[in-house]
């Protein structure tokens, strides 16, 4: 992935051509946040995860910083309508489902159990509200000027801002960081209204549980939202164009395993299936689907259709054309290995440029870009960025998958350990899943770690650390793990990679 990011430094310098465009700001409407004589060390467009982390880090480094965000609350998609609210719903829907279906055999007799969807949503909103206010406090604490409005380039050092209160202002920066994030990729011919045809934003805000839900896309977002509404009582069918769920980054063995588990939980799957068209004019939304496996085309109906086919970089209204900044064929802002655009003092991080669209990847880039500005060096290891799917059980991975290594012709060996043989998992009656470790057969160095199981999202941190520091499977196998813990499965998988597991 890093190779995709590289543009020669010489090419970057030769591409620098000041546009000389004038700053156009109405004197009548101007609200002055920063006086025209004051130039910020860093102006950040976007207050999402990448933007606010860069702002805090730059403030800590003593830079004069302004952060522009039009949403009105900080945290971007992740905090407001993505990672955070969805995890609230995933956690609480799991508790509801567990009480209904998994408490009796644990010795817990429960009476009349009712779903209060309004309260479920209120708990979600309280989580979001507390965290967004916390981020705003951190910006203030670190001396960051927070400007609520939509920013656009006037010239290479000036950002015009249409303020949320109706006014306008402008702010100048020695350095400018684009961190505008991403938006939902729409499905052609099926307009998202967030009522019957919804995006992930609508999926966390439904006012009632649909009887039938269709999910277009079997990636992480689609499967997480499918899990929420299936647990709450909807009949859910996931339609995925590829032959596997979870996206191409998920290890194929893991993907097959989690699909079986989710199917047991009540989610229906149609993999290798293309959605040809959609129609929402009737009482239900109808999708025409066609199987790539040669089956007959069919019509599926749902009260609600979730479009979860991915996200795309968001640059609308940013004024990139005013300064001649380039995007690639997928709409990503083109940068070099130091996050510079072709105009060296304008940099870009997060979803709006290359790499996986993950909040923690954006955070790492945000810190690195400030270090480049302040110190002249920074670092992100793109081979050590974990991914997590917060279904139950969770799925997490870092490094390379078995199919990636096969395709590249890289030799490897595999060690696995099932949670059914782990004492803590057996005690907790949560035994589905496994830890899968992939290592180099000569050096024993870890190449990838893949986990399905309870708390996989927490456990993957150990794999990420091992990969970052070049650990071998023997290193992990010889590291003492507390007993009884789920993490012992991690140690046992390492032992299985290196020699033999003890308890399986």
DSSP per-residue string spanning 385-435: --EEE-SSSEEEEEE--HHHHHHHT---EEEEEEGGG-HHHHHHT----EE
Question: For residue range 377-392, what is the model confidence (pLDDT) as tens digits?
Answer: 999 999 999 999 999 9
181 has binding-site annotation: yes
Question: For residue range 331-367, what is the model confidence (pLDDT) as tens digits?
Answer: 999 999 999 999 999 999 999 999 999 999 999 999 9
360 has binding-site annotation: yes
336 has binding-site annotation: no
Question: For residue range 425-448, what is the model confidence (pLDDT) as tens digits?
Answer: 999 999 999 999 999 999 999 999
**Residue 210 backbone phi and psi in degrees, to 5:** -70, 150
pLDDT at 281: 92
Question: What's the average model confidence in pLDDT over 66-91?
Answer: 97
Sign of the Cα torsion 460, 461, 464, 465 reads: negative
**Cα gap 61→58, rounded to integer Å:** 5
pLDDT at 37: 47
151 has binding-site annotation: yes
220 has binding-site annotation: yes
To the question of domain 40-105+113-183+312-375 being in CATH 3.40.190.10, the answer is no
**Cα gap 440→455, rounded to integer Å:** 26
pLDDT at 2: 36
% residues pLDDT > 90 (the chain) = 89
pLDDT at 164: 97
Q: Are 168 and 26 a contacting pair, CB within 8 Å?
A: yes
Question: What's the average model confidence in pLDDT over 233-250?
Answer: 96
Domains 197-309 and 393-498 agree in fold: no
115, with CB counted inside 10 A (0-12, 13-18, 19+), is middle
Hey, how many other C-beta atoms are within 10 angstroms of the C-beta on 359? 22
Specify the residue for token string 């068209």: 277
Cis peptide leading into 484, omega within 30 of 0?
yes
**Residue 413 backbone phi and psi in degrees, to 5:** -135, 155
The more confident residue out of 35 and 135 is 135
pLDDT at 291: 87
Q: Which of 97, 101, 379, 483 is catalytic?
A: 483
pLDDT at 324: 97
The answer on pLDDT for 495 being more than 80 is yes
pLDDT at 3: 37
221 has binding-site annotation: yes
Within 13 Å, how many C-alpha atoms sit on residue 160's CB side? Answer: 21
To the question of domain 197-309 being in CATH 3.40.50.970, the answer is no
pLDDT at 91: 98
**Cα gap 301→394, rounded to integer Å:** 29
The answer on pLDDT for 11 being more than 80 is no
471 has binding-site annotation: no
Give the β-pairing of 311-313 and 182-184.
antiparallel
Count the residues in the chain: 504
Of 134, 139, 135, 126, the residue nearest 59 (C-alpha): 139
64 has binding-site annotation: no
E-assigned strands of 249-406? 268-270, 273-279, 285-291, 298-302, 304-307, 311-313, 346-348, 387-389, 394-399
E-assigned strands of 188-280? 197-198, 212-216, 235-239, 268-270, 273-279
Averaged pLDDT score across all residues of the chain: 92
**Cα gap 72→296, rounded to integer Å:** 48
The answer on pLDDT for 17 being more than 50 is no
> What does the domain layout of the chain look like in residue ranges?
40-105+113-183+312-375, 197-309, 393-498
17 has binding-site annotation: no
Q: Which residues of 39-51 are buried (b: 16+ CB within 10 A; e: fewer)?
A: ebbbbbbbbbbbb
**Cα gap 168→25, rounded to integer Å:** 7
Sign of the Cα torsion 421, 445, 395, 410 reads: negative
The answer on pLDDT for 227 being more than 70 is yes
Of 345, 52, 61, 57, the residue nearest 179 (C-alpha): 52
The CATH number fitting domain 393-498, selected from 3.40.50.300, 3.30.565.10, 3.30.390.30, 3.40.640.10:
3.30.390.30
Q: Are 359 and 220 a contacting pair, CB within 8 Å?
A: no
Tokens of 492: 């046992």
Q: Are 220 and 309 a contacting pair, CB within 8 Å?
A: no
Q: Confidence band (pLDDT; 50, 70, 90) for 6?
A: very low
Residue 295: DSSP 8-state = P
483 assigned to active site? yes
pLDDT at 294: 72
Of 287, 291, 254, 252, the residue nearest 272 (C-alpha): 291
pLDDT at 473: 96
Of 302, 126, 132, 124, the residue nearest 228 (C-alpha): 124
Q: Whole-prediction pTM value?
A: 0.91
pLDDT at 499: 81
Tokens of 153: 């380039």
pLDDT at 434: 98
Question: For residue range 40-60, what is the model confidence (pLDDT) as tens digits?
Answer: 999 999 999 999 999 999 999
358 has binding-site annotation: yes
């Amino acid at each position: 992935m890093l190779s995709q990011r590289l543009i020669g430094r010489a090419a970057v310098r030769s591409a620098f051509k000041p546009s000389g465009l004038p700053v156009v700001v109405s004197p009548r409407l101007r609200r002055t946040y920063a006086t025209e004589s004051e130039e910020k060390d860093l102006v950040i467009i976007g207050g999402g995860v990448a933007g606010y982390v860069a702002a805090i880090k730059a403030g800590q480094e003593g830079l004069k910083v302004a952060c522009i965000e039009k949403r009105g609350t900080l945290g971007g998609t992740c905090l407001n309508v993505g990672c955070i609210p969805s995890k609230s719903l995933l956690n609480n829907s799991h508790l509801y489902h567990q009480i209904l279906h998994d408490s009796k055999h644990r010795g817990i007799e429960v009476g009349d159990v009712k779903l209060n969807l309004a309260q479920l949503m209120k708990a979600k909103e309280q989580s979001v509200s507390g965290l967004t206010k916390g981020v705003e406090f951190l910006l203030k604490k670190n001396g960051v000027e927070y400007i609520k409005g939509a920013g656009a380039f006037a010239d290479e050092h000036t950002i015009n801002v249409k303020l949320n209160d109706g006014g306008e202002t402008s702010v100048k920066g020695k350095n400018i960081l684009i961190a505008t994030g991403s938006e939902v990729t729409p499905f052609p011919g099926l307009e998202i209204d967030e009522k019957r045809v919804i995006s992930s934003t609508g999926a966390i805000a439904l006012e009632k549980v649909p009887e039938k839900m269709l999910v277009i896309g079997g990636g992480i977002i689609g499967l997480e939202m499918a899990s929420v509404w299936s647990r709450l009582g909807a009949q859910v069918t996931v339609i995925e164009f590829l032959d596997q769920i979870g996206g191409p980054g998920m290890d194929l063995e893991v993907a097959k395993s989690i699909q079986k588990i989710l199917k047991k939980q009540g989610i229906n799957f149609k993999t290798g299936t293309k959605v040809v068209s959609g129609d929402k004019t009737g009482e239900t939304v109808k999708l025409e689907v066609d199987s790539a496996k040669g089956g007959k085309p069919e019509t599926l109906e749902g009260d609600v259709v979730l479009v979860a086919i991915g996200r795309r970089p968001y640059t609308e209204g940013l004024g990139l054309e005013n300064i001649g900044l380039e995007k690639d064929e997928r709409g990503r802002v083109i940068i070099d290995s130091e996050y510079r655009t072709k105009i060296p003092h304008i940099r870009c991080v997060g979803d709006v440029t290359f790499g996986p669209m993950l909040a923690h990847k954006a955070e790492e880039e945000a810190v690195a870009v400030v270090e480049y500005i302040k110190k002249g060096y920074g670092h992100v290891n793109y081979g050590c960025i974990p991914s997590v799917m917060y279904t139950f059980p969770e799925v997490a991975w870092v490094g390379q998958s078995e199919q990636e290594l096969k395709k590249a012709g890289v030799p490897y060996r595999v060690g696995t350990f099932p949670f059914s043989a782990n004492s803590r998992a057996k005690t907790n009656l949560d035994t589905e899943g496994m830890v899968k470790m992939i290592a180099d057969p000569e050096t024993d160095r870890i190449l990838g770690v893949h986990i399905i199981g309870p708390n996989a999202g927490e456990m993957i941190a150990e794999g990420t650390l091992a990969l970052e520091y070049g650990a071998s499977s023997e290193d992990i196998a010889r590291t003492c793990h507390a007993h009884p813990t789920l993490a012992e499965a991690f140690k046992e998988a390492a032992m299985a990679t290196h020699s033999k597991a003890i308890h399986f």
